[in-house]
Chain A
Amino acid sequence: MSRSFVTLRSLEGFKFYGRKTIVHNLDPRAKALFITTVFVVSLLFTNLYVLLGLLTVHVPFLLAAGVLRRWVYSIRAGALLAGIIFFANLLTGSGVLPALALTVRFLVLLTTFSLFFMTTSPDDLGLALDRVGLVRWLSRRWLGFPNALSFTFTTAVRLVPTLAVDAQTVIDAQRSRGLELDKGNVLRRIRNYVPILIPLLLVAIRRSLELAEALEARGFPGREDRTSLYELRFKASDYLLVLGSSTVLAVSMWIFVIHPVLRLPF
């Protein structure tokens, strides 16, 4: 049983839990700028110390949000891939430090996404996306309605935990019929997943069709000038995060573009 639980437990590291901490209350737009900054900076520099610094920056956020234990789940889920990244780089002859740096870069990206999704409610995310002109324009072009795209995204994020529950039930049901997932050679093991994937896919499709009907029955997509009950508003902490993130972003780009010398070798 442990195996299937572990697989799904890694999802806990990306799942939103409704809480009221200072990190949860940050505006999703401010948080989006923060992760963009982390993303850009970690891609600009391959310096181990810069990347370790970026990783450390997340610690107070994880602590303040009370999600440190869940973050460990996401790291555990990424551990295999991190190992592959490290050894692949080591074997291709990049040396220990660069290989370590690239591994840390992966962990930084994993951490920042994990932090964002653990502390941002899908509703807030939808509200934020709805304020982005480009998203509304694309949505109107493709789906004929300005808020359809952000809604699709929010729904997809929201369905992840539901699907995880379905997946666990399907795994339990098939194991009750004597299916042993970790039996046989590699090919057999892959085939073992067919009885899991087919019901899961069908349940997901059925669920989405039901959702579509329920939405239409409630008048979706409604009027174009739809207003929102909840409005996003920047607070002092949001301004602080935006200020900090944009400063780091600007300085990093300045260093990268103007002073390539400062791109420290290892």
Chain B
Amino acid sequence: MILVEDVSFEYPSGRGEALSGVSVKFEPGEFVAVMGENGAGKTTLAKHLNGLLRPSSGRVLVDEEDTRRTSVARLARKVGLVFQNPDHLLFSETVRAEVAFALHNLGYAGKTIENQVEKTLGSLDLTRYADVSPFLLSGGERKRVALAAVLAWEPEYLILDEPTIGQDYLQKERLRNFIVQLNSQGKAVIIITHDVEFVAEAKPRVVLLSKGRVVGEGPADRVLSDADKVASASLVKPQIAKLFDQLSRFGFPRDVVDVHRAKQLLEDRLREVSVHV
């Protein structure tokens, strides 16, 4: 379990606190979305979870280990953090070497490294690029390599910073399926995003951040259909939630955010109507 206890943080360059009094809990095997506007402190929070940043006050415990007293390399085994821009981490000559890099750093044995690399490349549909330079790949493919580079050591908690930026709809759909699949295998997945549509369809637990504070927390359908909460984090409701806002005068519930449940409710109503006719 990752415990964030009353954490405040200020960057040395000043301009006030990036996080102030944040308390939040991430359970093993959980699926969570940390949402909020630009500058809300989402990435700052993410960097606290593997010890890259250490709280100015309060503390972060990863399985009861205080991040202030542990090295990032040690925490990284449990907490994998995938950065937003793949260009900030790709440097190897081949995709295979890129994915193996962290495994070498973390001290895995040669045979294990080989197996893990092949397995990871396969699961992300990258096997055919194994011997290609990561710099020759498209933006979406580079993003997948960056994900593979962290997924390779199978960290217990996987944090994805803005995974949907620069991805087209089809890729987002695949990414969502992939995340859901990972999560169902028992990995905790924490996504940092302001993509409400993506979150609405995936339905994780949502933590809303604004100006360095937690302003809302709960299941996606409840949080994302709550006009006040959504507005307080400078987000916009997902389209389905907007639609059900309009439909509420016909007796529909307002807390509907995903296509699946919307379809269910509408289908039921249509059936009722056709019975009456």
Residues of A within 8 A of B (CB): 1, 5, 9, 12, 166, 169-170, 172-180, 194-195, 198-199, 202-203, 206
CA distance A177 to B101 in the complex (A): 8
* Contact residues in B for A180 (Cβ distance below 8 Å): 71, 73, 105
Asked if A172 contacts B101 (CB within 8 A), the reply is no
CA distance A175 to B85 in the complex (A): 15
Q: Can you name 28 A-B pairs with beta carbons within 8 Å? A: A1-B52, A1-B53, A1-B72, A9-B12, A12-B12, A12-B13, A169-B83, A169-B85, A170-B88, A172-B52, A175-B72, A175-B73, A175-B76, A176-B52, A176-B72, A177-B89, A177-B149, A178-B77, A178-B102, A179-B105, A180-B73, A195-B91, A199-B88, A199-B89, A199-B90, A199-B91, A203-B87, A206-B87
Asked if A177 contacts B13 (CB within 8 A), the reply is no
CA distance A9 to B91 in the complex (A): 25
Residue in A166, A172, A174 whose beta carbon sits within 8 Å of that of B47 in the complex = A172
CA distance A198 to B91 in the complex (A): 6
CA distance A206 to B52 in the complex (A): 26
Counting chain B CB atoms within 10 Å of each CB, the highest count among A1, A166, A173, A179 belongs to A173
Give the interface size bracket for B toward A.
20 to 34
CA distance A190 to B182 in the complex (A): 37
Residue in A12, A173, A206 whose beta carbon sits within 8 Å of that of B89 in the complex = A173
* Contact residues in B for A174 (Cβ distance below 8 Å): 89
CA distance A177 to B108 in the complex (A): 13
Asked if A199 contacts B54 (CB within 8 A), the reply is no
Q: How far is the CB of B33 from chain A (nearest CB, A)?
A: 20
CA distance A1 to B50 in the complex (A): 11
Q: Flag whether B106 is at the interface (Cβ < 8 A).
A: yes
Asked if A176 contacts B81 (CB within 8 A), the reply is yes
Also in contact, A177 and B88, with CB within 8 A (given A1-B54, A1-B72, A202-B135): no
Asked if B83 contacts A173 (CB within 8 A), the reply is yes
